[in-house]
Amino acid sequence: MKRNFDKGEQGSGYLFAVGATVLWAGNMTLARGLSASIDPVALSFFRWTLACLAILPISFKHIVAGWPIIRKRLGYFSIVSFLGVTAFATLVYMAGRTTTALNLSLISITFPIFIILFSRIFLGERIGWLRSLGIALVLAGVVFLITKGRLSALASMSFAPGDALILLSSLSWAVYSLLLRKKPKELNLWAFQGATFVLGWVFLAPFYFFGPAISAPIGWNLTIILSILYVALMASLLAFIFWNRAVERLGASRAGILYYSMPLFSGLLAYLILGEDVGFIHLVSALLIVPGIAVANYSPPKKAR
């Protein structure tokens, strides 16, 4: 019975990780269209304001019940909230204004690599040749997709201030994902997520109210409003719950590898929403990325004693 339960836990973990990745792919698609219409800090502030308002009616009683634990681990909660809520999305939005799409995509996919390396260094997790092979296949597929099959484009890359910002965002999300393994087991998901959302918003608010974002004009329209609702409710609330469930069931390393499937979902959403073409390059990338994810996450059956 335990073996079947473990398999079921892993299966649901993969579904949660893919669900979070799909929602974040939609966030990237919308964020590109909003970069010229709203300040990055303002976008992040409104995103997390709505996300907090959405989760508090459900999580408030759980936060109150778990407050002694939260207060005891306030340092841990502060770090997790700042990295996962305050810093990550804000840095992504800021980077999108000062770097190219090629640089943004290439640097952002370093986040699962950081997870694997940090897991090896700090948690002692083995990488192994099979996982290394899977990572190599996935990286090849992602680079092939981003460069549209012209690998010579890598040699002509130029670096902008946004490159450092997106690298910082990848580092912050990698550390956040690893720290999820240390969250108090006595707290349920609603208490943990609600507390981190609120703390992250508290850390973000001064940057909005006392920075240039407060004076930046916003041309409010239906598109901006619907986009903010999506990034707040789907890419924040639902995606974070999915990701936490995935890390609980798979571990940060295995969940992180599934993040590499984002270019596939981004391409599909671009085709469905923006009408962009999907061609041979996307097919080749998919034939590298999908098997690579499968190989990297494969666990050989344990021999019976």
The tens digit of pLDDT for each residue in 80-99 reads 999 999 998 888 888 877 76
- Tens of pLDDT, residues 162-180: 778 878 888 898 899 889 8
How much is the mean pLDDT over the chain? 80
Answer yes or no: is pLDDT of 72 > 90. Answer: yes
- What is the structure's pLDDT at 38? 85
Supply the pLDDT for residue 270. 65
What residues contact residue 166 under an 8 Å CB cut-off, 6+ apart?
Answer: 91, 92, 95, 99, 103, 104, 107, 108
- Measured CA distances, 201 to 3, 6, 31 (Å): 41, 36, 19
Asked if residues 58 and 196 have their Cβ atoms less than 8 Å apart, the reply is: no
Query: pLDDT tier at 275 (50, 70, 90 boundaries)?
Result: low
Q: Looking at residue 154, what is its pLDDT?
A: 66
- Residue percentage of the chain with pLDDT more than 90: 23
Beta-carbon contacts of residue 303 (< 8 Å; ≥ 6 apart): none
Percent of all residues in the chain with a pLDDT value above 70, rounded to a whole number: 79
pLDDT digits (tens, 9 = 90+) for 130-158: 778 877 887 787 777 667 677 776 666 66
Question: How many Cβ atoms sit within 10 Å of the Cβ of residue 302?
Answer: 7
Query: Mean pLDDT: which of 32-41, 89-98, 198-207, 252-261 is highest?
Result: 198-207
Check residue 80 and give its pLDDT.
96
pLDDT at 133: 83
pLDDT for res 5: 43
pLDDT of residue 205: 95
Asked if 194 contacts 63 with a C-beta cutoff of 8 angstroms, the reply is yes
Does pTM top 0.95 for this prediction? no
* Predicted local distance difference test score (pLDDT) of residue 104: 61
CA distances from 14 to 227, 245, 291 (A): 27, 9, 14
Q: Output the CA torsion 63→56→10→298 (10° steps).
A: -110
Q: In the predicted model, is pLDDT for residue 273 greater than 70?
A: no
Over residues 3-17, the mean pLDDT reads 72
pLDDT recorded at residue 110: 67
159, pLDDT greater than 80 = no
- 118-143 CB burial, b ≥16 within 10 A, e <16: bbeeeeebeeeeebeebbebbbbbbb
Contact of 46 with 228, CB cutoff 8 Å:
yes
Q: Tell me the residue type at 21.
A: T
